[in-house]
Amino acid sequence: MKKLLLYASIVVALCPCLHAQEDSLSFSMLVCFYNTENLFDPENDSLTMDEAFTPDGLNHWGYKRYFHKINALAKVILAMGEGNPPTLIGLAEIENARVLQHLCTRSPLKKYAYRYVHHDSPDRRGIDVALLYRPDKITILQEFSIPVIFPFDPSSRNRDILYTAIQCPSGDTLHLFVNHWTSRYGGVGATIAKRNYYASRLRQQVDSIFFTQPDAAICIVGDFNDYPSDPSLRDSLRALNPQKTPKEKKELFNLMDNFSPWKNEGTHKQGAFWGCLDQCIVSTSLLTPRHPLQIENGQAEIFRAPFLLEDDEKYGGKKVYRTFLGPRYIGGYSDHLPIRVKIVATPPQNSFFAPE
């Protein structure tokens, strides 16, 4: 009887620790991406082409409009979390670290103590990609920017790709890439080679991870300025339709390929046409049930909150409620819709906590 009571007291004493360990093994985190549509501060940077986004510039970009934009973006980010703000948010069209600091500390995001990863890139307009993250949820293990220099146009100044290695509460590592590839400005045919090169550069980085970690959990997000079926994504990056059966661990699947252009679904509207320029691409492991990290339901989502849309009087239906239409200030959010995906982890089957 004494031995039984002693065993019971030990179990009771260990319960908080056991529950804490179980919580760290079972968790979920929301990973989002959002092209912010020109998040510039109103200061003139003499080293970049940002003159339009100054008080005296074409867009009359003063601090009132700037902080309206900061708070509007914070509203979108918080809304995506539906009560539990996202753990990771990849961002595009960020001018500098100052705008990220303002977004994290001078908006409703302040409550959640977001931090950011950012590097200035050579882009002529001065816009970069960045990552917001919640340090209470994850740990940044490594981060660096990946320069993109076209061999056929070495003088071109391009946006870097941002890489971050993230330690999840379970101890597993998520490899995250944030992208913003060359735009279609000037014509699709004239710019396609640049996006193809971005894809090959990114694939090199992915393969270097696969070389040592064939079952690595890799998530690639961004504004690729191409659609899932375009050669840059389908051929150069080799991002497959997620309906295909994986043949090996070292494959990539584009979750946005589930959205059909024939149903007019997408993150960006050009004329009457909706399409997915913004992608979420994942490695085989994140779609494999036995892997510690998994995409919930194997799907990504376009966040189509009603406040992000307005009536399209010209083409019918809805269009994105953006900040500018040309030089005309509208006061909306962005010219892209954000995307989100939930990554979940459960105790491995050989865990002490696995159900019998």
Supply the DSSP string of 144-175, one letter for each residue.
Answer: EEE---BTTBTT---PPEEEEEEE-TTS-EEE
Task: Indicate the pTM of the whole model.
Answer: 0.91
pLDDT at 249 (0 to 100): 87
Q: Which residues of the chain have pLDDT under 70?
A: 1-25, 347-356
SS3 138: coil
Alpha-helical (H) ranges within 213-335 are 231
pLDDT at 24 (0 to 100): 53
Domains of the chain listed by start with CATH number: 26-345 (3.60.10.10)
Place of tokens 């946005």: 256
CA distances from 216 to 23, 184, 210, 250, 292 (A): 22, 32, 6, 8, 11
* The pair of three-digit structure tokens given for residue 137, joined into one six-digit string: 């949820």
Q: At what angle do helices 63-81 and 97-105 cross, to 10 degrees?
A: 60
pLDDT at 347 (0 to 100): 62
Q: Which of 91, 73, 193, 171 shows the shortest CA–CA distance to 132?
A: 91
Calculated CA dihedral for residues 199, 202, 207, 212, nearest 10 degrees: -170
> Could you give the CA distance from residue 245 to residue 266 in angstroms, rounded to a whole number?
24
